[in-house]
Structure 1
Amino acid sequence: MTPNALAIRPYHPSDEAAIIQLWRDCGLTRPWNDPSKDIARKLTVQSDLFLVGEAGGVIAGTLMGGYDGHRGWINYLAVSPAHQRLGYATALMCAAERKLLEMGCPKINLLIRSGNAAVQAFYARLGFQPDEVISLGKRLIPDM
């Protein structure tokens, strides 16, 4: 199969249902996070860092990036199972890195689930290394 080129563009409101389904197909959604609310929140802050990858007229991938002035963050990097292993995740990451670098971002952080060895290996190939930190969280607004 010859892969379709990935066209990376900003999020459009008409993308929401397809993106939420993509996230579900990739196992990224959790019962305590409402993906519609995550999208709505992202659209209020640096919406230009919400990237969508299209291939063959369908949404094949997404990435939500952010920069807080100290470091960049990557969330919701997802590529549909039908489009995996075609370089699309790498292309989305490269696009996000370029945008963050243009903003003066010195470092990118991201969180992945500890048991996901395949994703850990993917990020290691892109030059990411584990930081000696403990991630803590506190929910301020319940989604459910």
Structure 2
Amino acid sequence: MIRAAMPGDRAAVVALWQRCGLTRPWNDPFADFDRARAGGAVLMTADGAGAVMVGDDGHRGWIYYLAVAAERRGEGIGRALMTAAEEWLRARGCPKVQLMVREDNATALGFYAALGLERQAVVTLGRFLD
């Protein structure tokens, strides 16, 4: 069962993201969790084995931090989280979902390809606003 994460789930979800190697020192995952809940959603399995952050920027839907506990991979949890995230976006009228994967993460790229996601002909640019 997939449900919306609540404030009390914050520490457990961030710990999962950290165990799965999705966090980086320059991003505060606790702040990301809070911002997502304020304008998007963090969805998670009832048992805490998986979680995903989803949002709508008004033009496209975005998925971040899709994580499944290592010992639970291969059970369909990642697929269920993607389905729930896409349903959340469809309910808001999003025409397209996008996500970013680090180019050296072959496992994640293979997972998303198996779900029918395709590489897009775009370059992501950015800078910190500190």
TM-score (norm 1): 0.86
User: Which among 24, 36, 39 is matched to residue 45 of structure 1?
Assistant: 39
Instruction: Tell me how far apart the structure 2 counterparts of residues 41 and 67 of structure 1 sit (CA, whole Å).
Output: 12
Q: Kindly, what percent of the aligned residue pairs are identical?
A: 47
Q: Quick one: distance in 2 between partners of 1:128 and 1:103?
A: 20
Give the number of the structure whose alpha-carbon radius of gyration is greater: 1
Whichever residue aligns with residue 10 of structure 1, its letter is A
2:14 aligned to which of 9, 16, 20: 20
Query: In 1, Cα distance between the equivalents of 2:100 and 2:9?
Result: 24
Q: Report the Cα distance in structure 1 between the residues aligned to 2:69 and 2:6, rounded to whole angstroms.
A: 18
- The Cα offsets for residues 48-101 of structure 1, whole Å up to 9 and x where unpaired, read as x310112xxx31111111112211100010001121110000000001111211
Q: Does 1:118 align with 2:107?
A: yes
User: RCO (CA 8 Å, sep 6+): is it higher in 1 or 2?
Assistant: 1
Question: How far apart, in 2, do the equivalents of 1:36 and 1:10 lie?
Answer: 16
Aligned length: 130
The 5-angstrom pairing of residues 83-102 of structure 1 reads: 83-102=72-91
Task: Let me know the Cα RMSD of the aligned residues.
Answer: 1.1
**Structure 2: which 5+ runs fail to align?**
none
